[in-house]
Amino acid sequence: EAAIAGAAVGASLLGLKPVAEIMYMDFMPLSMDQLVTHAAKLHYFSGGQLEAGMILRTQYSLGRAHGAQHSGFLPAWFLQAPGLKVAVPSTPYDAKGLLNAALKERGPVLFVEGAMLYKSKGEVPEGYFEVPFGEAEVKRGGKDITVVAISRMVPEALAAAESLASSKGIEVEVVDPRTIQPLDKRTIVDSVKKTGRLVVASDDMKTGGVGAEIGATVYEEAIDYLKAPLVRVCSPDIPVPFAPPLEREYMPNAQKLEQAIEKLFA
């Protein structure tokens, strides 16, 4: 992993556009020196004379019984790496568009894929298009509560939203950030100002996760609009279990999200 990332950095400095792969996100610590200490900072080190225009793809296998060494979703680790952009697509359309956009980036991009999404189906234009970094998408409109869902939790959030609309009359707005660095704070804050409630749904651990950063942003910019406390539907702060029944209990899902939303309206 260190060699893969290091070779990509070197190739980018020679004018190539490497697209390298780290097989599992849990292996990313082995490549963090090359990615975070060097690739992300070369622009700043050199006064803009050097750019590590590279893409590092990785995936997390939560939900496939691959064990604690292959299943972790660790996006928050990379939020404190100025110069590095982080994409977390949830649909085939977004995956293609974000990858095209990443190929045009002058700096490094970490492209995080949820393995459980690999069999997803969706409309994808044959021609060239880009999904800009830093532009969230409202996947479903709603007036009662905002759910910011990341990666695998986007389809789970949409399923929960449909169930709540039909059973409780609760209209859920589902926001997909699509990139978490940069994060489209404005779309999230505007949605919360409209609905007055926020749930963040993500596969990473609750403590120090992306949900905490999103929640802090909303508290800083829209606290007067909130009708209820922030709720995070995330993974617990333990290693991912290997046994499938335990892993299913560990994972956030549509049912857990639906229950969390119902409590806010109880």
> Which one is catalytic: 38, 43, 66, 70?
70
| Cα–Cα dist 236/239, whole Å | 8
In terms of Cα–Cα distance, which of 68, 71, 86 is closest to 32? 86
In terms of Cα–Cα distance, which of 125, 89, 131, 108 is closest to 6? 108
In terms of Cα–Cα distance, which of 156, 117, 167 is closest to 253? 156
Tokens coding 203: 């596969």
| Cα–Cα dist 37/62, whole Å | 28
Contact 58, 26 (CB under 8 A): no
Tokens coding 59: 């995936």
70 catalytically annotated: yes
CA atoms within 13 A on the CB side of 47: 0
List of residues 6+ apart from 8 with CB closer than 8 A: 18, 20, 34, 39, 54, 56
Q: By CB neighbour count within 10 A (0-12 exposed, 13-18 middle, 19+ buried), where does 42 fall? A: buried
Residues with a catalytic annotation lie at: 70
